[in-house]
Amino acid sequence: MAEHRTMQRGALLDAARSLLSEGGTEALTFPALAERTGLARSSVYEYFRSRAAVVEELCAVDFPVWAAEVENAMARAETPAGRVEAYVRSQLDLVGDRRHRAVVAISASELDAAAREKIRAAHGGLVTMIVEALAELGHEQPRLAAMMLQGVVDAAVRRIELGAAEEPGVIAETAVAMALRGVQG
């Protein structure tokens, strides 16, 4: 029985990833989850009390995997500048990934404060990884710089997700240039 519930929960999370990936948070509804999984809508409520709860669990499951990929990319870099570049590129490489789409959708305003706090804490771990590299590069305010760098990454992610005029590769190169050389280009 418990194994069956775990499988259904997994199927619901997978359906949620697809819905978020296809249509953003508006697409993530309990009727749509029920339809995708073949469960009754009332059954969906047995697993999750709200859309925010679905998103919160997706975050708990997907974010660590996603962060580990960023961390691994940084660990392979030889220099602090290489780690900064890996930090930017690896996040942008994950944009098309359904897990990432779910994580991005999570900034949705419908999340309650507790869920947003959990996500901020998880994101904090990602920012901490880059603070060290920025300090090694001699930055006087590495924590502040890390948060601003994440802002550049977030802007690039949004640009790629919107299907902006520029190719994703051009957006990535520009983000890396901003990370390593500021506005000098």
Note the pLDDT tens digit of each residue in 106-151. Answer: 555 556 677 677 767 767 777 788 999 999 999 999 999 998 998 8
User: Quick one: tokens of 148?
Assistant: 């601003």
Q: Which of 69, 71, 83, 75 is nearest to 180 (CA)?
A: 83
Sequence letter at residue 116: R
- pTM of this structure: 0.76
Exposure class string for 4-35: b at 16+ Cβ within 10 A, else e: eeeebeebbbebbbbbbbeeebeebbbebbbe
In 3-state terms, the chain is what percent helix, strand and coil (to 5)?
80, 0, 20
